Structure 1
Amino acid sequence: MFPVSSSQFRLTQYDGQHEGTRLIITGAVHGNEVCGTQAIIRAVEDLDRSVLTIRCGSVTFIPVTNPLAYAKGERAGQRNLNRNLFPNSDPQDFEDHVANWLCPLLTQHDVLLDLHSFSGNGEPFVMVGPRNNDGPLEPFKHEEQERALARRLGVRRFVDGWLRTYGDGVQRRMSGSSELQTVLRYGMGTTEYMRSVGGYALTLECGQHNDPQAPEVAYRAILNTLAFLGMIDAPEPEPVKPEQMEALSMVAVYDKQHAEDKFSRDWSSFDPVRQGEEIGRRADGTPVLAEFDGRILFPDAAAGANSEWYYLTRPNPSF
């Protein structure tokens, strides 16, 4: 285990001799997701031994973004860092202190690669942001660059629609409140914050927490990102071919209404579902049926009452 204090923060930065992109790469935003930590340590060792050299721009590595959660070996220290991520003038919990350190760092960079893993089985995928827009929810202007980088991380699955879909669930739980700031506040994580301050960002889900290949996926993504951004002497990685891609949009989030709501089977992210197929049953026996053909995402059998239970996605042919 990477040695780290549970009460202080640590980063490593490398600057090239020439101007270029300011990149930041984060691991262990959730303390039990350590594949990014392992990959970052490996990349730092390569840079220290001159196996790699930053020629242009700068890269900042944060192997353990949430040291308290990491020390506990749990998803959160005191709450989920990847929600409600804003600077806070009156910090109430450990993650507020992390945000007060992390958010200014993100503001100083152009691009974020955030390395995660997931609890269920399934293959790696990348979460991307919205289309270019000047709307009130998530205005954005780097769609082309962000999606070009996403296609070069070494994975074939791409998912968009997070903030919009998550926000719909928040509004429902808040008794239909239509306040935009409520949606933004609860749905704001590392990548959303990065986009809000003018950069672009990707969340790479590198595989199941304990999959020995997950650190390899993370390390390959680091190298591909450095090469694609022209920061190291390496050929630009080839993008995934269109016929190999699977692009999905998050469409709806469904809540666990009662602690005794149960799934009808052991679901994994990206399992296909057919319209009318039984996904689970409510505590009173009412079946929960898929409203459309698609794939399930982030099924959480251990979810508490009145919290996210699972998401449904649809194919996105326009990715």
Structure 2
Amino acid sequence: MSSTAPHPTHLRVHQFAGLKTGPRLLVTGAVHGNEVAGTQGIERVLKEIDEGKLTLLRGTLTMIPIVNPLAYRLQRREGERNLNRNLRPAPIPQDFEDRIANQLCPWMAASDVLLDLHSFNNPGPAFAMMGPRDNDGELEPFRHEQAEAALAACVGTSRIVEGWLSTYALGLQRRAGRVSDGSRQASLVQDPHYGVGTTEYMRSQGGYCITLECGQHADPQGPEVAYKAILRTLTLLGMIAPGAVELADPQRPIELLQLYEVIDREHADDRFAQSWSSFDEIQQGQLIGTRHDGTEVRAPAGGRIIFPNNNAQAGQEWFYLARYSDRKLPQ
């Protein structure tokens, strides 16, 4: 469908209000329009609630199956821009995603917990992303480290990643020194707020949250991962009775990684040295790619490469690097 087709004019939001007080959980899918595992998982939960197979015992459950209906209609990541960057209310909306943000941000501010369901380009297993440790810093002050870590541990993935916003800030500092072409896209990627997406905005409003990457976009198990994660979250929060789905074993091994570097693509002819997948292991000094002028890009330390993007535009994220974290998860 052409991007000139009429834009969607509403968000579909489902809310269930328990008759007993409890947590306010928001579950979101298709923040990126081609990431539909979360949408399918949410729709399955909605059906089971409507059929009486699931009963909300307490609290408020809000679910938005398709957060970006324009991108979803176009079957691509973005409508007019990336909704999961520079997310905040826009007094004077400049694009479709600004208008979505004006509806989405109040829903997040009215919630205590957010489960944001995504998927990714390259093959690989599902993983969770969580926020910072408790701190009073200026970048992302936080007070729910233990609750968020428990949420990340409960959804069933074997890998958890931390350190998104602090790493993204490093890239922003580098971009600030570049000459802008004056476009809105260039101004956005150099905006200090650009690293803020759904989870970062949620934490800024006093809540806690995780991003769950449910696997590769077309992975047939992705909707099942999303569905079970929703039920496990509801069980963890005491919003449904135990037994709807088996909870993740707290004793299972989990690989915990900390992002520490983001490398941008500087030119359309920058090339990877090999076909990388997220979480491929790398050694210190290993060749990752070559710039258009022949400059080699090598790993500064051992660890893993994350989100390698062959289709990255010049001036945007090419890949991330992660090291093994010393953080302890709740048992």
Q: Indicate the TM-score class for this superposition, using the shorter chain for normalisation.
A: over 0.9
Q: What amino acid sits opposite 1:155 in the alignment?
A: T
Could you tell me which residue of structure 1 aligns to residue 9 of structure 2? 7
Q: 1:188 to 1:263 in 2, by over 3 A?
A: same
Which residue, out of 197, 206, 209, partners 1:198? 206
Task: Determine whether 1:318 maps to 2:327.
Answer: yes
Could you tell me which residue of structure 2 aligns to residue 66 of structure 1? 68
Runs (5+) with no aligned partner, structure 1: 177-181
Cα distance in 1 for residues equivalent to 2:132 and 2:191: 15
Task: Determine whether 1:303 maps to 2:305.
Answer: no
Cα distance in 1 for residues equivalent to 2:202 and 2:295: 41
RMSD: 1.6
Cα distance in 2 for residues equivalent to 1:238 and 1:43: 16
The residue correspondences of 1:204-215 to structure 2 (distance < 5 A) are 204-215=212-223
Secondary structure of 1:149 counterpart? helix
Cα distance in 2 for residues equivalent to 1:131 and 1:312: 19
Cα distance in 2 for residues equivalent to 1:109 and 1:171: 32
Cα distance in 2 for residues equivalent to 1:12 and 1:311: 35
Contact 1:16 1:55 (C-alpha < 8 Å) held by counterparts: yes
Q: What amino acid sits opposite 1:207 in the alignment?
A: G
Cα distance in 2 for residues equivalent to 1:295 and 1:145: 26
Identify the range of structure 1 (79-88 vs 167-176) with the bigger mean alpha-carbon deviation. 167-176
Could you tell me which residue of structure 2 aligns to residue 280 of structure 1? 289
Could you tell me which residue of structure 2 aligns to residue 150 of structure 1? 152
The residue correspondences of 1:52-63 to structure 2 (distance < 5 A) are 52-63=54-65
Could you tell me which residue of structure 1 aligns to residue 105 of structure 2? 103
Shift of 1:7: 2.5
Identify the range of structure 1 (227-236 vs 31-40) with the bigger mean alpha-carbon deviation. 227-236
Secondary structure of 2:38 counterpart? helix
Contact 2:172 2:192 (C-alpha < 8 Å) held by counterparts: no
Task: Determine whether 1:217 maps to 2:225.
Answer: yes
Cα distance in 2 for residues equivalent to 1:192 and 1:184: 13
Q: What amino acid sits opposite 2:212 in the alignment?
A: L
Shift of 1:318: 2.0
Contact 1:26 1:62 (C-alpha < 8 Å) held by counterparts: yes
Shift of 1:213: 0.3
Contact 2:156 2:247 (C-alpha < 8 Å) held by counterparts: no
Contact 1:85 1:99 (C-alpha < 8 Å) held by counterparts: yes
Task: Determine whether 1:122 maps to 2:108.
Answer: no
Query: Structure 1 segments of 4 or more deviating over 3 A?
Result: 235-243
Shift of 1:237: 5.9
Shift of 1:8: 1.3
Q: 1:183 to 1:135 in 2, by over 3 A?
A: farther
Which residue, out of 132, 153, 159, partners 2:161? 159
Contact 1:27 1:64 (C-alpha < 8 Å) held by counterparts: yes
Cα distance in 1 for residues equivalent to 2:25 and 2:80: 28
Could you tell me which residue of structure 2 aligns to residue 226 of structure 1? 234
Cα distance in 2 for residues equivalent to 1:41 and 1:200: 23
Contact 1:156 1:240 (C-alpha < 8 Å) held by counterparts: no
Could you tell me which residue of structure 2 aligns to residue 187 of structure 1? 195
Q: What amino acid sits opposite 2:263 in the alignment?
A: Y
Could you tell me which residue of structure 2 aligns to residue 135 of structure 1? 137
Cα distance in 2 for residues equivalent to 1:294 and 1:267: 14
Which residue, out of 250, 260, 265, partners 1:251? 260
Contact 2:264 2:318 (C-alpha < 8 Å) held by counterparts: yes
Q: What amino acid sits opposite 2:200 in the alignment?
A: E
Q: What amino acid sits opposite 1:288 in the alignment?
A: V
Q: 1:184 to 1:227 in 2, by over 3 A?
A: farther
| Matched-pair identity in % | 53
Deviations along 1:163-221, one digit per CA (max 9) or x if unpaired, are 00011101111118xxxxx7651111000000000000110000000000000000000
Secondary structure of 1:140 counterpart? coil
Deviations along 1:224-249, one digit per CA (max 9) or x if unpaired, are 00001000111596554456110000
Secondary structure of 1:227 counterpart? helix
Secondary structure of 1:151 counterpart? helix
Secondary structure of 2:22 counterpart? strand
Shift of 1:149: 1.1
Cα distance in 2 for residues equivalent to 1:238 and 1:37: 21
Cα distance in 2 for residues equivalent to 1:237 and 1:188: 33
Shift of 1:276: 1.0
Contact 1:7 1:68 (C-alpha < 8 Å) held by counterparts: no
What is the TM-score when the length of structure 1 is the normalising length? 0.94
Cα distance in 1 for residues equivalent to 2:317 and 2:39: 27
Contact 1:278 1:290 (C-alpha < 8 Å) held by counterparts: yes
